[in-house]
Chain A
């Protein structure tokens, strides 16, 4: 089998305001004709830079290829003029991106955008292009093509937008499709459908695919070969089964060991028979519409649950399910519309503003994006000292002592206190977020997607930390997540939400071993398993997911 694209010894230099960096060093990889190559790595590994260098999509002024060749179909792309490269781009090599909303032009209809490459590259007339656009949308599984063609990007769902992007990418029947994290921004059920679509198209048209992703599960379920990158260098290239069963490079082994599914549940859950610490009944949150312009939205619709001390309840759902709103409403960060929340015997909704502020020390929240939750102008010390000044009588020395203690508790050092938020890595910031939540010795912590933005290795460390702290301090967690593999690892009880309602509620073993609701079954079936031999029967899986999502909508 000959290779369609061969990259040999590629080195890329980027000039930044803080001096030149080399994000890609001596990278070699090849994509066989008609096959799918997965390019895997954590953030900063250079995988996206490598892919974008192929079609020279990075700014010319600051990005330079300092060595190596990119051979595509008998030509060296690094030597092509911009003009000849434009003919290759879109026609022979098409790219789809992570976030289709930003890749689509918001002021043009879908019809205009899908027709553009057809007219530019294939020279079709306006009418021919319009007909072909409808065919393409049909090909990517969009049913109501006439309506979608008339729509603007913001009127479509994320999955639909990604389908449109794929339709545009496939419009000129490219030989190579570069997909840069194409499903990272999508829900699992939508992710499954998009990946299925890419695989179908690949088989039908014989297109080669370069799939860039951080998700080893996605790779296991789709790719033929895998290249693992780390720190700008290739660690290992091998067929997919071999990568998962007999990894050679140390880095690959480490990466695999971080997978939530490869790590056992170790913790013994505290019994659930204690009096609940938190009791939520019939919680409702309606966001009022803007007068005359939009309808009111019922984000949370009659949610009830309770959490015993020292236990973890996971709230699982896809985007828009109301899981985050539930977490914020029970803390009264968003004022609930109706329902009751009892925390340690106190009716939270009956408290005055001042009483609630005093109560805040006992119930805390960890945000998904800790960077955004820290005041960018304040040092960590100043930020962390604020709650202590507010809720305790500690003097400056006492505050400093407590800060150092908590920093050590979450695995940071005292000297980190003088730094600003932007001087930390994502994992360190999450530790700071956790430190802030723990400062006042709370008994309940709401964790809103605390590890979603983190690389797998960092994710593993932060989850370990959360579990360890729970054991030592007896914390109760409400753990909000869309990631079922993480939930299986950390939760004792699971609440599955869809469209603001609870569809399933049980212990983690019950829900994962014997899901009752079709939507839960669909969610579980859609999670990409990091085992290439466990590629489920695709037809069967598709059926499960379709049944479940239909049920969730109804």
Chain B
């Protein structure tokens, strides 16, 4: 009803989005987790111990002042390894999401704008990709490319493509019926300009949310690939590799070798999920008025 004063909030601009995000308590918690791991990754090089060279201390020591996370079976400082692992994991997540975005967004936008046979074909291909369990597909791709960090990134990135393609496809389908798109046709804009200048930017909000949530998922999948030996290879301190290294010592009581990398994975994923949820609330004007 236009009569009541309870109108939905207008389109957000970056400054207001950030301000609202900082008012969202859970999103701030998420940001803090992400900031801590990012900072740790940046500062891991300052550690007195090397991340990969053995012999920083005695073998298999429990947490102590000198080694807060303990040492591993080669005597390496686990705190240094976990922080350095953050660098690998965060990069993996970023690059994998970038691959998904760079391929998924144009594919979905194309399919939504063109529709017809070509559009249908693209979306059915995406459905086929989605039909595979994502971890199994990622394993298959990584195995085909040969074990290694790069193939893990590519594998996780490819698995994420259909998700983004579907979101963009749906957004474009609804946006292309909006009057401002028709207004673009009416002034004589070519279809490609309408798509790139008017439709895709208006579809960005849900993509941003999904990309943030996807970061956590990408880190987890990459760690899983490393755990089973298809991703990063020892002695690289990737979190999945660290858990894999410590796996044999759980029963003998050296719990710290698996617990700390596990907590690292859990908190970083939690951070991205909380931030993503917060972004979703902040970017949705309908949710904004009810506060």
Contacts and interface: CB of A to CB of B under 8 A. Distances in A.
B188 A387 contact: yes
Nearest to B8: A422
A377 B3 contact: no
Contacts of B190: 357
B179 A358 contact: no
Nearest to B178: A372
A49 B3 contact: yes
A14 interface: yes
A340 B244 CA distance: 73
Given A23-B4, A390-B187, A377 B179 contact: no
Interface string A460-479: 00000000000000000000
A520 B184 CA distance: 35
Contacts of B202: 375-377
B119 to A, nearest CB: 15
A378 to B, nearest CB: 8
A53 to B, nearest CB: 11
A357 B5 CA distance: 41
Nearest to A376: B11
B182 A357 contact: no
Interface string A363-404: 011010100111111000000001100110000000000000
A233 interface: no
Contact of A23 (B2, B5, B178, B186): B5
Interface in A25-46: 43-46
A373 B202 CA distance: 13
Nearest to A49: B4
Contacts of B179: 367, 369, 372-373
Contact of A373 (B2, B10, B13, B182): B182
B6 interface: yes
A333 interface: yes
A386 B189 contact: yes
B5 A386 contact: no
Chain A, interface residues (CB within 8 Å), range? 35 or more
B289 interface: yes
User: Which of B3, B4, B6, B289 has the most A CB atoms < 10 Å from its CB?
Assistant: B3
Interface string B75-97: 00000000000000000000000
A422 B185 contact: no
B180 interface: yes
Nearest to A331: B186
Contacts of B6: 14, 16, 62
B198 interface: yes
Contact of B186 (A43, A365, A375, A423): A365
A95 interface: no
A43 to B, nearest CB: 5
Contacts of A420: 10-11, 13
A440 B185 CA distance: 15
A132 interface: no
Contacts of A377: 11, 201-202
B26 to A, nearest CB: 19
A423 B13 CA distance: 13
Contacts of A436: 183, 187
Contacts of A390: 187-189
B2 A43 contact: yes
Residue of B2, B13, B202 ringed by the most chain A CB atoms within 10 A: B2
Contact of A333 (B2, B4, B185): B185
The 6 closest A-B pairs by CB, nearest first: A422-B10, A360-B188, A357-B188, A373-B179, A48-B3, A372-B179
Interface of B: 1-6, 9-11, 13, 178-180, 182-190, 198, 201-202, 288-289, 291
28 contacts: A16-B6, A17-B9, A17-B288, A17-B291, A23-B5, A46-B3, A49-B4, A49-B5, A62-B6, A98-B1, A333-B186, A360-B186, A364-B187, A365-B186, A367-B182, A369-B179, A372-B178, A374-B180, A375-B202, A376-B11, A377-B201, A377-B202, A390-B187, A390-B188, A420-B11, A420-B13, A436-B183, A436-B187
